[in-house]
Amino acid sequence: MKFIKFLIPVFFIGIGVVIAAILVALRPQVKPSQPESKPLAVEVVDVSPKSWRHVVVSHGTVRPQREISLVSEVHGRIEWVSPTMEAGMTFRQGEVLFEIDRTDYRLAMSRSQASVLQAEAAMAMEEAQAAVARREWDSLSPGQEPNPLTVREPQLAEAKARLEAARADLEQARINLDRCSITAPFAGAVMSKQADLGQYVREGGVLGTLHSTDIYEVRLPVRLSDLRFIPLDIGVVPDEEKLAQVDVTLEGELGGRTHRWEADVVQFESDIDGGNRMATLITRISEPLQRGDDIPIPSGLFVRAEIAGISSPGLLEIPRIALRKDQDIFVVDAESKLRIRDIRIVQSLDQTVLVEPTLSVGDRVVVSAVGQVLPGQQAAVTDEAVTASSK
């Protein structure tokens, strides 16, 4: 009885195994199929090697070559102020800007003149007495050298010194009187006025701030990597002839419009700025307020500068958006497959980069987002430009 109970489960298990084997044998055979790969839609541009005139871009602020504080060299009350002594007004070189009360200085000059007359009289009297003393000595002691006191040499020297001091005081009084008229040391414009009519000023007091208008300067920082594109011998102090060969165009916004001005390179500072690790070119604009038909360039204007550099043959201009993080690019090759190409950047511009011609024949540069794809994937070009945008 126990044996029969044991056989019943075994019997059912055996039947199940036979049924499973039959089902496996009769199942339909499914052939594996390769998943269909769809071409990736990309946008590309065609690029081709060409000769390129490098342009180094920098930015700076227009500043006057000279900017000074106008100070008084005498003290007194201001009794006249020029109408041109207002912020923004221009003046000529030598033009009187302030007049300080001269009364005290006229009196000082009169006293100095009187002192000179007295000293001259004392000098004449001392010279006469010295001459008399010399004659008396020569008559009494011929051929012998007299004692200096006998012929009044110390007294004569003292009289001469007093006369020279009186004349110096007179000259100083004349200078102080002239300094009551404060004139412009150069042609320029007023930045600010800090003293006015009736105000008492002390010697050294600031009356205003002036700047020149004959020459403006712009300091242009240049990346060290861009110095090789500027036709200057780095490490050698360039002469004026080499500096004159560097063309610089300044560009700025005035009245809602973009204006351009030409500037001259006058100096290359060989010392590197420790703060931003850049070299500096100094450019000048001569007669900035008298430019013929051009709009005058104002002081304080922030400008973009284009420095014309050397020419390089056979470079490719690639849009900056085509660059990947690893400084390589995707291209669509002649077989319409995506490939990765390593590039070597020669110069970075605003929207593009110049690279050495390392692409293969038929390569077109991908400018759309590609994402994570494998090189060799089939690509479908959706928007193809004729050439990369050029500057």
Long-range contacts from 323-331, C-beta under 8 angstroms, 24+ separation: 323/353, 329/365, 329/366, 330/42, 330/365, 330/366, 330/370, 331/44, 331/359, 331/360, 331/363, 331/364, 331/365, 331/366
Q: Which alpha helices (DSSP H) does the chain contain, by range?
A: 2-26, 103-140, 153-178, 240-244
Tokens describing residue 207: 């009356």
Secondary-structure percent of the chain, ordered helix, strand, coil, rounded to 5 = 25, 40, 35
Q: Are 317 and 49 in contact (CB under 8 A)?
A: no
- Give the dihedral of Cα atoms 103, 106, 112, 116; nearest 10 deg: -150
Where is 239: in which H helix or E strand? none
Exposed / middle / buried, residue 366 (Cβ in 10 Å: 0-12, 13-18, 19+): buried
Q: What is the H or E stretch that residue 210 is in? A: strand 206-212
Q: Rounded to whole angstroms, how far apart are CA atoms 206 and 201?
A: 8
Q: List the CATH code of the domain at 41-53+313-385.
A: 2.40.420.20
Q: What is the pLDDT of residue 242?
A: 67
CA distance 4 to 83: 133
Q: Which pLDDT value is given to residue 51?
A: 86
Domain 56-65+215-310 indexed as CATH 2.40.30.170: yes
Domain boundaries along the sequence of the chain: 41-53+313-385, 56-65+215-310, 75-211
Q: State both tokens at 280.
A: 């500096």
Count Cα atoms within 13 angstroms, Cβ side, for 9: 4
Three-class SS of residue 52? Answer: strand
- pLDDT digit of tens for each residue in the chain (391 aa)? 555 655 566 566 667 666 666 665 666 665 555 555 678 888 888 888 888 888 899 999 999 999 999 999 999 999 999 999 999 899 999 999 999 999 999 999 999 999 999 999 999 999 888 888 888 887 887 878 888 887 788 888 899 999 999 999 999 999 999 999 999 999 999 999 999 999 999 999 999 999 999 899 999 999 888 888 887 765 555 566 667 678 899 999 988 889 999 898 888 876 776 677 788 889 999 888 776 556 888 889 999 999 988 888 888 888 988 888 767 888 888 888 888 888 888 888 888 888 888 887 778 888 888 777 777 888 888 765 544 444 4
Q: Which of 356, 361, 360, 365 minimizes the C-alpha distance to 386?
A: 365
Handedness of CA 369, 372, 374, 380 (dihedral sign): negative
